[in-house]
Amino acid sequence: MLSRIAESLFWIGRYVERAEDTADILDVQLQLLLEDANTDEDLTCRTLLSIMGVEAEIGPRITAQQVLDLLAYDVDSPASIAAVLAASRESARRARETLSEPLWEAINTTWRTIPSGRFRMLRPPSVFGWVRDRAALINGTADATMTRDDGWQFLMLGRSIERADMTARLVATAALAASGSSSAWTNTLRACGGYEAFLRTYRGAETDHEAAEFLLLDRLFPRSVVYALSRAELCLENLEAGNARAGFQNDAQRLIGRTRADLEYRALTDVLADLPTEMERLQQTCAAATEAIGARYFAGSEATEWLGWTKGGRY
């Protein structure tokens, strides 16, 4: 497969996943602000921007509306939903000849809502529901119309790495907000679409410990960190099939596998002791794995610079 096509499919998976997960994070944070009048709006907004890797000089105080502009509506803000949906459409245009007609139409129709102005007219919580619906349509169309060849592996690889990264951000926001709100973890589980699955798994027990364990370590829930990392490992194994008889020659496999094993085999209490730091380390691993994937598979194509920052650097 041409490296240009492989790279485009990888980033389509990442961009669509980031749009959906950014909507989930914004939904959680706005609900927390509405539920607790004593919450410090400026501090909450600054913490959210920091976790999302956005550095912005806005003024002495930051409001929820300003955060919405930066992370949802402003196409000139690299980390916004509008910007990443536009980027997914550009990636799809570069790989147009390999996409099915329904998949191209799903991505292109989603993007057309942004320049038309209709996207900015959507207000919370409707805008978050719209993003989830469009992401589900794109992902479902890809699932139904793409052959399970290398192109599919790259699409799923991008989606899985981004999902691990963004679930880590969701967990970090919940950990920071939990001290001031008893509903932080519940809202986070609902945003992930996993609240009912969580209740069935833990037989109705709702504690912060169990919620964190579910989002981090559950092997059956598709939005858990461990599930996403395992799926990324499987994609890399399929892409590398027959290339190595011993060890791992792929740096991305080594990074992702080591991080997944570290999460699964460490005591959960050790991970929970400093959850925001652990999640930041996980984000750095996703950034490093992305660089390794680019060097191995996309070296012959034009470099793609990912939108957003982490404390570990741009990726």
Please say whether the beta carbons of 187 and 193 come within 8 A.
no
> What pLDDT, on the 0 to 100 scale, is given for residue 180?
56
What are the tokens at 175? 């950990």
Instruction: Give the tens place of pLDDT for each residue, 122-159.
Output: 999 999 999 999 999 999 999 999 999 999 999 999 99
The owner of tokens 């925001």 is 276
Which tops the pLDDT comparison, 82 or 183?
Answer: 82
Residue 276 is which amino acid?
A: P
Which helix (H) or strand (E) segment is 170 a member of? helix 150-178
Which tops the pLDDT comparison, 35 or 45?
Answer: 45
> What pLDDT, on the 0 to 100 scale, is given for residue 92?
97
Cα–Cα distance for residue pair 71/25, rounded to 1 Å = 10
State the average pLDDT over residues 223-250.
Answer: 85
What are the tokens at 33? 């602000």
Residue ranges of domains in the chain: 3-300
Whether this prediction's pTM lies above 0.95 is answered by no
* 300: exposed, middle or buried (Cβ count in 10 Å: 0-12, 13-18, 19+): exposed
Max CA separation in the chain (angstroms): 59
Cα–Cα distance for residue pair 17/235, rounded to 1 Å = 16
